[in-house]
Structure 1
Amino acid sequence: MTPPTAAMKNIYFPLLFLSLVLLSACEELFEYHPNQIRLSKDERDLTAHNLKRLQNQQPGDTLHLLVMGDTQRFYDAASAFVDKANTFPYIDFVIHQGDISDFGMSQEFRWVHDIMKRLKWPYLTVVGNHDLLANGRKVYQQMYGAFNYSFDYGHTRFVFIDTNSLEYNYNGKVPDIDWLSRQLLHQESATWCQAIAVSHIPPYDNDFDTALEEAFHSTLKESERVQLSLHGHIHGFRADFRYDDDVLYLATSTVKEREFTYLKVWEGGYSFERVAY
């Protein structure tokens, strides 16, 4: 093989360098496979990150929360939600009711987070059934964290729980009733006096394991600490005492409908308002 001449080197090596630069840039723009997980450092462990932000806040006697529904592919509506949310003078945190993604692809999660990180307030998520599709389980765990988690903020404990029973073939383990019950056990030394349950699928929906429906409600009721259970999934607003007068099941519509719930919580009570944008 004839060695390259000096002229050839002057053309070849710059082209090779340019090709490598372009390939590197393309890696940031495209995924080689739809199930590939490519997350930057600031896109990982977002639940822990936002809980740390909460720890640096001082909760008042009344908590001010915004609750948003499924984002899926409704990126323009999600962006408009953030714009509206940022007009509030003060919000403690935002709750995303799940179905962050539509197909469980990492790029979908990243696109939504790129929108949500513009919020002036911390945001916390619960896993939705669409978030468990394809490689979504791994993406959610790496990007946000555990499917089931709880935390205390002021006088209230918030319990986020995976209720996507269908995605587990109704195996009798989702939602995890034992785990839920433990989170609602109240110790005398506890700083919280009441709790709010947060999940994607409400217990009356067909995607919820009917064998666990009664146990879910009974666990909330018998704790004597829960008056309110928050949900998404049904793509519409719904607020009713489904089983008795003890626990209100409040579902917030998808952002596609351009509305969210403004929730105020104080010791022993709450109020909510539907906000259009």
Structure 2
Amino acid sequence: MKNIYPLLLGLTLFLLSSCEELFEYHPNQIILQDDERDLTARNLAKLESQQPGDTLHLLLMGDTQRFYDAASAFVDKANTFPHIDFVIHQGDISDFGLSQEFKWVHNIMKGLKWPYLTVVGNHDMLANGRKVYRQMYGDFNYSFVYGHTKFVMIDTNGREYGFNGKVPDLDWLSKELTRQPGDTWHQAIVVSHMPPYDGDFDTSLELPFHETLKESDRVQLSLHGHIHNWRTEETYDNTILYHATTTVKKRGFTYLKVWRGGFEIERIAY
């Protein structure tokens, strides 16, 4: 009998080494395939290969968390549209910040006919979520130009930084909203998970955030998720429209059309 123990030990080590891709040994462990990395850059490259028209067509959704059936149903509905330029996931991709949650949602979202881009949500910063998001998607703050419009994607999850007065990064935001010689964009749309009127937004930056958008003279629209409900209003001084899209759990998303100098918002139930 004593000779069986080395055999069992050897078999155990073999199974552990050969099944590395099948199991995560700790919920915070990050095991990503090559095609699950740098998704922001990959999808921006897809956008660069597209030709934007005079009117841009976008779908806005978010707060997928553990609502995988609802997220799958969203993809099915989105793919019925004849043309969409891209989809924006407005944060809370995950519920607990676990890499497997991000992977499950991406496995659903990659079924879209259209590129999709994201902003980071407060739930995406739990546990090891910050590292997962950076590896899977990329920077928390980034921007891109598509046709006549610049999209500025910014981290506004102030509570997750202890309301330190630095998130959102208003200096970065102001620079992104300032046109430089040679810039081709005419207007900007700001996208974040946390709307400025929410209690999880750093209250010391709430009005400065709005003033930054207003003073740029380039922003008419700011897009958000987080509140798990619809809310569309000019919250402060009737200069910027703040639009929040409900969670996929409630089977809703936004169909947004954008043209030079204007936009149209449609709430879609599915």
Match of 2:69 among 76, 83, 107: 76
Offset from partner CA, 1:120-165 (integer Å, 9 cap, x none): 0000000000000010000000000000000000000000000000
- Inter-partner Cα distance in structure 1 for 2:82 and 2:15: 45
**2:58 corresponding residue in structure 1:** 65
**1:33 corresponding residue in structure 2:** 26
**2:203 corresponding residue in structure 1:** 210
Consecutive unaligned residues in structure 2, runs of 5 or more: none
Instruction: Indicate the SS of the match to 2:135.
Output: helix
Counterparts of 1:64-213 in structure 2, within 5 Å, are 64-213=57-206
**1:43 corresponding residue in structure 2:** 36
TM-score by length of 2: 0.95
Over aligned residue pairs, what C-alpha RMSD do you find?
2.0
- Inter-partner Cα distance in structure 2 for 1:221 and 1:169: 26
Offset from partner CA, 1:206-264 (integer Å, 9 cap, x none): 00000000110000011000000000000001100000221100000010000100000
- Inter-partner Cα distance in structure 1 for 2:121 and 2:63: 8
**1:20 corresponding residue in structure 2:** 14
Q: Which amino acid aligns with 1:112?
A: V
**1:56 corresponding residue in structure 2:** 49
Q: Which amino acid aligns with 2:261?
A: G
Residues 1:251 and 2:237 are matched in the alignment: no
**1:265 corresponding residue in structure 2:** 258
User: Which is higher, the Rg of structure 1 or of structure 2?
Assistant: 1
TM-score by length of 1: 0.92
**Structure 1 runs (4+) greater than 3 angstroms displaced:** 16-23
How big is the shift at 1:22? 7.7
- Inter-partner Cα distance in structure 1 for 2:51 and 2:232: 29
Instruction: Indicate the SS of the match to 1:66.
Output: strand
Q: Which amino acid aligns with 1:210?
A: T
Q: Which amino acid aligns with 1:225?
A: R
Q: Which amino acid aligns with 2:255?
A: Y
Q: Which amino acid aligns with 2:14?
A: L
Q: Which amino acid aligns with 1:235?
A: H
- Inter-partner Cα distance in structure 2 for 1:18 and 1:146: 40
- Inter-partner Cα distance in structure 1 for 2:18 and 2:72: 29
- Inter-partner Cα distance in structure 2 for 1:86 and 1:228: 25
